[in-house]
Chains A and B, each alone.
Chain A
Amino acid sequence: MNNSNLSDRKFIISAFFIIVAIVYISRLFYIQIIDDQYKLDARNNAFRYRTEYPVRGYIYDRNGKLLVFNEPSYDLLVTPKLAKGCDTIALCKVLEINKVEFLRRMKKATQAPNSPRKESVFEKQLSPKIYAALQEKLYRFKGFDLQARNVRKYPRPIAAHLLGYVGEVSKDKAAKDSYYREGDYIGISGIERSYEEPLRGKKGTQIVMVDVHNKTKGRFMNGQFDTLAVPGKALYSSIDIDMQEYGEKLMKGKKGAIVAIDPQTGEILCLVSSPGYDPNLLVGGKERSRNFTKLYYDSLNLPLFNRALMAMYPPGSTFKLIDALIAQQDNLISRSTGFPCNRGYPPMGGHPKCHAHGGVDLPGSIATSCNSYYSYVFREIVDQKKYPKFEDGYNHWRDAVRSFGPNTKLGTDLPYDKPGNVPSVEYYNKVFGKNHWRSNTVVSLGIGQAELTLVPLQMANVVASIANRGFYYTPHCIKGVGVEKKLDPRFKEKHYTYVQNQVAYDNVHDGMQKCFDAGTGSASRIPGIVACGKTGTAENPHGDSHAVFSCFAPRYNPKIAIVCLVENAGFGGTWSAPIVSLIVEKYLTGKITRPDLEKRLMEADLINRKNLLGSGHH
């Protein structure tokens, strides 16, 4: 026996034990301190992030009347794994669905992107009746839970296009924007879309801990790391809810749009697109998609189409005002200038056609809306000596026109507005060939026809600029965001038009006043108010002409600039002018002195050709 030798083995054995311990401690160091994966895994195991949805901001009209508020609604959520063995038949009965549907939804809740352990929506926005029934019996349905959400509610069924609607966020958007999760709500159109950020507020998160059976065990660190939901901000709109409602009533049975602007601020007073729809139709759960489909496929009336911002109409004779201003600014015509009119524009063999307006001066040409006169004016501008090259003359006219807003994106605070079109030189070069067209070729541009198009909002902006004698504020419908009523500074910026000659505006205003007094709008004179107007009859290739009427009032210190366009209604003086006159009268005086006119206008159904007014002066 060699005990002293063997005794050395204690060192080897001890060393072995120590080495193993060191290996283990190193391994612990690695998984506990270096590798973060396990920390994440532990959180995924035990933490459930519960989203607290903020209340969406209310929207008020210019007088503080409520346009949009919220109503609580409840979603039914299910965690399939926990719902095993729940009383399916009883639940189906409450929800008024059959077993097949139940199983279909259960399957959907189980499969990706949902999971058996994850809560997902079983039924959205329960009706009040089902909610009441369900709330009592919920304890019987294991795995099911109610989640409070808010839906929009509209006290008056108006301004659907303007306000827009809220709906579930698209998959695309949810993937791109980290704020949204699938199933979240987002403003899809109108104010709801463009003011989504202040309206939505900020979601809060509650960290809830669950055990291995997914049973809630309480808040993580007593809620120390939770974030509170920040409610959405209120919006103070410039819309006059009464004017909006009145405009929509007057436009009932007619296709078209009304846009009214306060020229002194650029605030939109009303924005009517007709036919419209009740915004309350697009909030509910089940009904919502049904209603949307119905509106979406109404190809005759296109009720979802916002004509005020998106329909590009030829402005017709209302455009003559711009020609008159540009020509005066360029010193090409004066108040007393007259042009021949021989039931049409003589150089082009009587086209564009006209009534016989012999020797009217500038204001008279506006009041009587002489086509021939403005064909000459257009030529005077385009062919003026300053621009030896014809194309330069044309571009000068085009730029001057665009300074009033046409063919530009005005930059309003509503989404999806269209720019309209003032054709470019390049366009006509393509159509006619370079050097193969002259001012006379496109002379109908001068009277607001041909390829010239504006959307109603731009038409109203033109009137506002004329009312302001040479500038406009970008039209906008929100005057204040949140309690501090913050206004976007870009809406405080004056945009000057090409025409700054104040005499030119005097002359044009005279003509517009005369339009009411003795011209094409005389049938719609507003009692007690000096107003300025201009009729338009926009010929279009799709059918009867659109009736247009532009107006601002009072002439001095104007409070409202308004445009009304009624599709396929013929002469502007017949349909659009009376509508405008009623709205202006009601807005400025607060009363209606012509109830019979109001009644007839409201009852007239142009879409179905019923209750039509007698055709007035053409």
Chain B
Amino acid sequence: MRKQEHSLFFGVDKITVFTYAILVLMGWLNIYAAVYNEDHQNIFDTTQKYGKQLIWISSAAFIAILILIIDAGFFTVFAYVFYAVLLLACIAVPYLGREVKGSRSWFRFGDFGVQPAEFMKFATNLALAKFLSNVNIEVQESRRNKLSDILKNYQNTIIATIFLGLPLVIIKLLQDETGLAIVFIAFIITLYREGLSVNFLIFGLFSALLFVLSLVMDQNTLMIILAVIAALSILFVKRNRKNLIIISIILTTACGVVFGTNYVYNHLEDHQRVRIDVLLGRGTVNLKKEGYNVNQAKIAIGSGGFFGKGYLQGTQTKYDFVPEQDTDFIFCTVGEEWGFLGSSIVIILELFLIIRIIFMAERQRSPFSRIYGYGVASVLFFHVAVNVGMTIGLMPVIGIPLPFFSYGGSSLWSFTILLFIFIKLDANRLVILR
């Protein structure tokens, strides 16, 4: 028994590791297809991206094993340290790093580059897990009315939000990497699991809905509809003071969002505004300019049919009609060459992995491990939803990779670290019990 306990893979969730391996392998096959070129067919050709990706994959495997070797306690103890160091790196990179293609998020080491923002994900997750598992009352709603009480009650929520907000703001403002920054919103799911009032989520969803609505329809009409709904609510709910106040607050907030939409929309950067226009079909979208990416992506996926065109047979991907097809638009290769069957399988595999992680998180005895697990699931989900969503026209274009699929060392390492720390924590759940 002892021998087994000390084995590297003791307690390691094989299903998760296996799913991870399949996704990485499929990702590599698709990268090969995306950059496939009759002239360079040697898979070990490191001048080609699929050759480089092989290096990334083997180094990721090395990192994964390293994580499994390290004592799980290491991650809990140094959670804040990771967070602080990487946050500093994120602040420093615009000043110390070299600019690559207008991006200021890279440290360069010769041929290879590293994006600290990618690693901020697991560090933030560790820090958040550590913080939330250390406080007694997590985040809970209150029925008291005094401002100081509310603040006190929401103290932890606010601190947790700061943990997430710091990297988001720093990466967005200093590095101008919207895609890398926006991911931190995903941790709201973790917060919700740990007790965040459902009202926050409803408020968030409601605001998002109103934002979209006020962009696609006439604002005055929208206001009238809101007023009518409010009037109807007054008619049908119990007319006491409290309800009236709630309804008027909701109405006021809604109106605020509707009016605020214009302001926000007009203060977006041009390309972001265009991406929203493309998604919502506002105005005339020029398919040769701003609409090109999304349109070509949709053509690639849409032309795949049920079985796809066959491996290495995708004309859209092979002949470079889809831009960024090895990184952010890798899903196009899947859709075109493997068809509905293949792309559904990829979505189901990613979903399976995420649900498996939730299942594993729920079996943890230590809140730290559970919270961290939810963080992993949330980040993966956010990436898959946004990445796939943008290629099929359900999300605006945001440059974030498809986990384990997209080409790139930083993202593969980052996801591997994120996942394998959790696998290690999960493997230790029995040890800690003893």
Interface, chain A (partner B; CB < 8 A): 1-2, 6-7, 9-10, 13-14, 17-18, 20-21, 23-25, 27-29, 31-33, 35, 37-39, 41-43, 45-47, 209-213, 217
Which residues from chain A contact B194 at a C-beta distance below 8 Å? Answer: 6
B305 touches A14 (CB 8 A): no
Sample (9) of A-B pairs whose CB atoms are under 8 Å apart: A6-B194, A6-B195, A14-B358, A17-B351, A17-B377, A25-B344, A31-B393, A32-B343, A210-B319
Residue pair B392, A31 in contact (C-beta under 8 Å): yes
Among B181-209, those with CB < 8 Å from A are: 189, 192-195
Residue B430 lies at the interface, judged by CB distance under 8 Å to chain A: no
Shortest CB distance A208–B (Å) = 11
A209 pairs with B315, CB closer than 8 A:
yes
Besides A47-B315, A210-B319, 10 new A-B residue pairs in contact (Cβ under 8 A), listed by A number: A1-B140, A10-B361, A17-B351, A18-B351, A37-B302, A38-B301, A41-B299, A45-B316, A46-B316, A46-B319
Hey, which chain B residues are within 8 Å of A32, CB to CB? 301-302, 304-306, 335, 339-340, 343
- Which residues of B have CB within 8 Å of A211? 318-321
Interface-lining segment among B94-102, B170-178, B222-230, B381-389: B381-389
Give chain B interface residues in 341-396, CB to chain A under 8 Å.
343-344, 347-348, 351, 354-355, 358, 361-362, 374, 377, 381, 385, 388-389, 392-394
Nearest chain A residue, comparing its CB with the CB of B287: A41
Within 8 A of A (CB), among B208-224: none
Q: Report B376 CB to chain A, min CB distance, Å.
A: 13
Interface 1/0 per residue, B303-323 and A, CB below 8 Å: 111100000000110111100
Do A42 and B315 touch (CB < 8 A)? yes
**Residue B4 is within 8 A (CB to CB) of chain A in the complex:** no
B358's partner among A13, A29, A209, A212 (CB-CB below 8 A) is A13
Contact B299 A21 (CB under 8 A): no
Q: Mark B278-303, 1 if CB is under 8 A from A, else 0.
A: 00000000000000000110111111
A13-B189, A14-B355 given as contacts; is B319 within 8 A of A28 (CB)? Answer: no
- A7 x B299 contact (CB < 8 A): no
Q: CA of A1 to CA of B137 in the docked complex: distance in angstroms?
A: 6
A120 and B232 CA atoms in complex are apart in Å by 66
Q: Which residues of B contact A20 (CB under 8 A)?
A: 381, 385
Instruction: Identify the closest chain B residue to A212 (Cβ).
Output: B320
Taking a contact as CB atoms under 8 Å apart, the answer to whether B316 and A10 are in contact is no
CA distance A21 to B303 in the complex (A): 21
Q: Which of A6, A9, A38, A217 contacts B303 (CB 8 A)?
A: A38
How far is the CB of A451 from the nearest CB of chain B, in Å?
Answer: 66
Please give the distance in Å from B98's CB to the nearest CB on chain A.
Answer: 29
Q: How far is the CB of A8 from chain B (nearest CB, A)?
A: 10
Query: Main SS of chain A's interface residues?
Result: helix
Tell whether B118 is near chain A: CB-to-CB under 8 Å: no
Contact of B348 among A1, A21, A209, A213 (CB under 8 A): A21
The answer to whether A10 and B299 touch (CB under 8 A), given A17-B381, A46-B321, A211-B319, is: no
Specify which of B136, B303, B355 is in contact with A1 (CB 8 Å cutoff).
B136
Instruction: Give the residues in chain B near A6, CB-CB below 8 Å.
Output: 193-195
Name the distance in Å between A337's Cβ and chain B's nearest Cβ: 88
| A42 pairs with B319, CB closer than 8 A | no
Which chain A residues lie closer than 8 Å to B347 at the CB level? 21, 24-25, 28
B305 and A39 within 8 A (CB): yes
Which of A17, A43, A213: most chain B Cβ within 10 A? Answer: A17
What CA separation (Å) do A35 and B392 show in the bound complex? 13
CB-contact partner of A10 in B300, B304, B358, B385, under 8 A: B358
Q: How far, in whole Å, are A360 and B358 apart by their CA atoms in the complex?
A: 124
The CA-CA distance from A420 to B341 in the complex, in Å, is 72
- Does B326 make an interface contact (CB < 8 A)? no
List B contacts of A37 (CB < 8 A): 302
Could you list which residues of chain B lie within 8 angstroms of chain A, going by C-beta atoms?
Answer: 136-138, 140, 189, 192-195, 295-296, 298-306, 315-316, 318-321, 335-336, 339-340, 343-344, 347-348, 351, 354-355, 358, 361-362, 374, 377, 381, 385, 388-389, 392-394
Q: Are B315 and A45 closer than 8 Å at their CB atoms? A: yes
Please name all residues of chain A whose beta carbon is closer than 8 Å to the beta carbon of B140 when the two chains form the complex. Answer: 1
A28-B344, A32-B306, A42-B316 are contacts. A18–B388 as well, Cβ < 8 Å? no
Are the CB atoms of A209 and B319 closer together than 8 Å? yes
CB <8 Å contact, B301 and A28? yes
Tell me whether A45 and B392 are in contact in the complex, defined as CB-CB below 8 angstroms, given that A9-B192, A18-B355, A211-B319 are known contacts. no
Closest to B350 in A: A21
Inter-chain CA distance A112–B315, complex, in Å, is: 26
Minimum distance in angstroms from A214 CB to a CB of chain B: 10
CB distance from B30 to the nearest CB of A (A): 16
Contact, CB under 8 Å: A33 / B305 = yes
- Specify which chain B residues have a CB less than 8 angstroms from the CB of A35 in the assembled complex: 302
B355-A17 in contact (CB<8A): yes
Question: Which residues of B are found within 8 Å of A33, using beta-carbon distances?
Answer: 305-306, 340
Contact among B193, B195, B321 with A13 in the assembled complex (CB-CB below 8 Å): B193
Which of B195, B303, B320, B377 has a CB less than 8 Å from the CB of A41?
Answer: B303
Determine the residue in chain B with the shortest Cβ distance to A7.
B362
B388 surroundings in chain A (CB, below 8 A) = 24
Q: By the criterion CB–CB under 8 Å, are A27 and B303 in contact?
A: no
Q: Which residues of A contact B137 (CB under 8 A)?
A: 1
Residue of A nearest to B194 (CB): A6
B321 touches A212 (CB 8 A): yes
Question: What residues of chain A lie closer than 8 Å to B335, measured between beta carbons?
Answer: 28, 32
CA distance A38 to B304 in the complex (A): 9
Instruction: For the complex, give the distance between the alpha carbons of A213 and B192 in Å.
Output: 49
From B298, B336, B389, contact of A24 by CB (8 A) = B389
C-alpha spacing A448/B300, complex, angstroms:
77
Chain A residues with Cβ under 8 A from B348's Cβ?
21, 25
Cα of A14 to Cα of B351 in the assembled complex, Å: 10
- Bound Cα distance from A213 to B347, whole angstroms: 32
| Residues of A with C-beta under 8 A to B393 | 27, 31
Q: Which 8 A-B pairs have the closest CB atoms?
A: A38-B302, A42-B303, A211-B319, A46-B315, A31-B302, A32-B340, A212-B320, A41-B299
Q: Is the CB of A45 within 8 A of B305?
A: no
CB–CB B362/A28 < 8 A = no
Given contacts A17-B355, A18-B351, contact A45 B195 (CB under 8 A): no
From residue B251, how far is it (CB to closest CB) to chain A in Å? 27
Q: Which residues of B contact A9 (CB under 8 A)?
A: 192-193
Report A4 CB to chain B, min CB distance, Å: 12
A9 to B136, CA, bound (A): 19
Q: Which residue among B303, B316, B358 has the maximum number of chain A CB atoms within 10 Å of its CB?
A: B303
Contacts of B192 in A (CB 8 A): 9, 13
Instruction: With both chains docked as a complex, state the minimum distance between the C-beta of B421 and any C-beta of chain A, in angstroms.
Output: 20
Q: Which residue of B lies closest to A21 (CB)?
A: B351
Quote the shortest CB–CB distance from A6 to chain B (angstroms): 5
Within the assembled complex, what's the spacing in Å between the Cα atoms of A9 and B198?
10
A6 vs B197: C-alpha distance when bound (angstroms) = 11
Give the docked Cα–Cα distance between A28 and B377 (Å): 23
Q: Provide the residues of chain A in CB contact with B302, threshold 8 Å.
A: 31-32, 35, 37-39, 41-42
Q: Which residues of the partner chain B approach A41 to less than 8 Å between Cβ atoms?
A: 295, 299, 302-303
A39 interface neighbour in B303, B320, B340, B394, Cβ under 8 Å: B303
Q: Identify the closest chain A residue to B137 (Cβ).
A: A1
Cα separation A13 to B315 with both chains bound (whole Å): 38
Q: Point out the residues of chain B lying under 8 angstroms from A39, CB to CB.
A: 302-303, 305
Residues in chain A near residue B320, CB distance under 8 A: 211-213
User: Which of A18, A28, A42, A210 lies in contact with B300, CB distance below 8 A?
Assistant: A42
CA distance A209 to B318 in the complex (A): 11
A24–B394 touching, CB < 8 Å: yes
Minimum C-beta distance from B187 to chain A (A): 13
Given the known interface contacts A24-B388, A39-B303, the answer about A217 and B193 at a Cβ–Cβ threshold of 8 Å is no
CB distance from A520 to the nearest CB of B (A): 79
Cα–Cα, bound, A33→B303 (Å):
8
Instruction: Give min CB distance, B353 to chain A, whole Å.
Output: 11
Residues of A within 8 A of B300 (CB): 42
Report the separation of the CA atoms of residues A212 and B355 in the bound assembly, to the nearest whole angstrom. Answer: 39
With both beta carbons as reference points, the residue of chain B lying nearest to A20 in the complex is identified as B385
The answer on a CB contact under 8 Å between A42 and B299 is yes
